[in-house]
Amino acid sequence: MKTQNLIVGQGLAGTLLYHHLTKRGARCMIIDDDHATCASAVAAGFVNPISGRRLILSDDFEKYYAEAEATYREMERTLREHLFEPKDIVRFYDSFTEQKNWSERKDRIKSAPYVKSFQPAGLYRRWFHDPYGSLVIKGHICHLHRLLSSFREQTGPDHIVPGAFDAARLEVTADGVAYRGIQAKRVIFCEGFRVTQNHYFAKLPWKHAKGEILLLEHEGPPLPDKIFNFGKWAYRASDKTVRLGTTFYWRTIDTEPSEEARREILARAETRIVFPYTIKQQYAGVRPVLLDLNPVAGLHPRHPRVGILNGFGAKGVLRGPHAARQLAEYLTEGRPIDRSINISRFNI
Ligand SMILES: Cc1cc2nc3c(=O)[nH]c(=O)nc-3n(C[C@H](O)[C@H](O)[C@H](O)COP(=O)(O)OP(=O)(O)OC[C@H]3O[C@@H](n4cnc5c(N)ncnc54)[C@H](O)[C@@H]3O)c2cc1C
């Protein structure tokens, strides 16, 4: 079998890269091990324009949002699936002081256009302890699980090869790469956090962050279809289930659910959630993160047949489309990749 680009990993990075390359007429094949360690399959998929307790507009939001939305809309048309939608983020105040500070600052700060309204205390009392009211932030959600599975179904077995990629079987020459009967011009690694086992790119300054999520089942009225934020977040997964997360751990990097994370999430939830629930599932994933918190895209400086797209961190939905497009344009048209995400910013 012949192709131009052999992509390893079909998480968000591999899927976006395939989209941008094929859109430009390049041929691709993807190898993926059935999402064995896929952060994208675990992630909530939120885009939140505002960060932190002081409700500051995230630096990268205005720079990347329009392109992200346009890319997911394009993929919606290709895959004929509903993937990306506005979703209000209800951010509960922690105190009257916080509420007062916001109303004093609200006309002066850059994040103000992304805040829809103030909501009085008690509006969500059937589900949450809500004594100080809340702000409604204009957020979005990308249904990542749906994106990955419909991409996989529709792209089909001729272009997606199931199974674990075995690095020992890869042959790299000056003219291209060969892997188990597949001949390609190059291989691009989109392996998420498992990049640290890849000898070409393991030396980049990685600082991955493990995150966990609980799936709760409950009786009574369904949670309103919004993202509730109280240090942790909760949102409706179905009429009877709620997803609750998340954690950031840098010490243990694996995809095993942990007691420590479960305790941390529940301790926070107990201060807010008033509906009775049972825990049905716990999921763990690893955000692939570089020390400077930017993605990385490009070809290896000494092995030009070997490339990478990775490091999407905690903002894959927002930042992934731009990074994937930049790499696709570089590979198909030779356009330079932005310095901030270019692999050339590192010495490897
Ligand atoms: C709990 C949690 C919550 C998150 N919430 C959000 C959020 O709300 N918004 C947001 O924007 N981001 C969020 N993220 C971050 C987001 O998940 C990542 O930025 C993004 O998914 C990374 O995508 P990726 O394709 O680089 O890696 P991955 O999604 O991990 O994909 C890598 C793929 O490659 C496969 N693979 C790896 N090695 C091999 C191999 N040798 N052979 C075959 N296949 C291989 C893996 O199994 C996987 O399918 C969250 C992450 C976590 C863990």
The answer on 159 and 301 residing in a single domain is yes
Q: Is the CB of residue 227 below 6 angstroms from any atom belonging to ligand 1?
A: no
pLDDT of residue 101: 80
- Report pLDDT digits (tens) over 222-239: 999 999 999 999 999 999
Which domain CATH number covers 191? 3.50.50.60
The answer on 278 and 171 residing in a single domain is no
Q: Is the CB of residue 189 below 6 angstroms from any atom belonging to ligand 1?
A: no
Specify the length of the chain in residues: 348
- Report pLDDT digits (tens) over 281-315: 999 999 999 999 999 999 999 999 999 999 999 99
The answer on 331 and 199 residing in a single domain is yes
What mean pLDDT is reported for the chain? 95
Given 142, 158, 173, the domain boundary residue is 142
The answer on 130 and 103 residing in a single domain is yes
Q: Is the CB of residue 245 below 6 angstroms from any atom belonging to ligand 1?
A: yes
Separation between Cα atoms, residue 319 and residue 72, nearest integer Å: 12
The answer to whether the beta carbons of residues 236 and 150 sit under 8 Å apart is: no
Contacts of 289 (CB under 8 A, 6+ apart): 206, 207, 208, 209, 311, 313, 314
pLDDT of residue 314: 96
To the question of pTM greater than 0.85 for the whole model, the response is: yes
Residue 191 pLDDT exceeds 90 = yes
- Locate the ligand 1 atom nearest the alpha carbon of residue 313 and give its number: 19
Q: Which residue has the higher pLDDT, 246 or 51?
A: 246
DSSP state at residue 168: G
Separation between Cα atoms, residue 239 and residue 29, nearest integer Å: 38
* Secondary-structure breakdown of the chain: helix, strand, coil percentages, each rounded to the nearest 5: 30, 30, 40
The answer on 152 and 137 residing in a single domain is no
pLDDT of residue 35: 95
Which residues form the domain of 95?
46-142
pLDDT of residue 103: 75
The answer on 126 and 69 residing in a single domain is yes
pLDDT of residue 28: 98
- Mean per-residue pLDDT for 265-283? 97
Which domain CATH number covers 256? 3.30.9.10
CA angle 212, 127, 88 (to 5 degrees): 70
Looking at this protein, which amino acid is placed at residue 139? G
CA distances from 255 to 45, 177, 233, 252, 258 (A): 18, 30, 20, 9, 9
CA distances from 251 to 97, 248, 287 (A): 35, 10, 13
CA distances from 191 to 28, 35, 66, 171, 204 (A): 16, 10, 26, 18, 14
CA distances from 253 to 207, 246, 334 (A): 10, 15, 36
* Dist. CA 286 → ligand 1 center (Å): 7
- Report pLDDT digits (tens) over 131-160: 999 999 999 999 999 999 999 999 988 899
**Tokens of residue 4, six digits:** 């131009």
The answer on 193 and 305 residing in a single domain is yes
Separation between Cα atoms, residue 40 and residue 19, nearest integer Å: 16
pLDDT of residue 85: 97
Rg (CA), the chain: 21
CA angle 37, 41, 46 (to 5 degrees): 130
* Dist. CA 265 → ligand 1 center (Å): 21
The answer on 297 and 200 residing in a single domain is yes
**Tokens of residue 323, six digits:** 């990074």
Burial class (CB in 10 A: 0-12, 13-18, 19+), 216: buried
Looking at this protein, which amino acid is placed at residue 261? A
Q: Is the CB of residue 287 below 6 angstroms from any atom belonging to ligand 1?
A: yes
* Dist. CA 142 → ligand 1 center (Å): 14
The answer on 117 and 53 residing in a single domain is yes
Element (H, E) at 160: strand 160-162
Domain count, the chain: 3
Instruction: Please name the residue whose Cα sits nearest to atom 19 of ligand 1.
Output: 316
The answer on 170 and 58 residing in a single domain is no
pLDDT of residue 104: 76
- Report pLDDT digits (tens) over 61-113: 999 999 999 999 999 999 999 999 999 999 999 988 888 887 777 766 777 78
Which of 33-42, 43-52, 62-71, 73-82 is predicted least confidently?
43-52
CA distances from 81 to 72, 77, 213, 295, 324 (A): 10, 7, 25, 27, 21
**Tokens of residue 156, six digits:** 């089909």
The answer on 24 and 162 residing in a single domain is yes
The answer on 21 and 149 residing in a single domain is yes
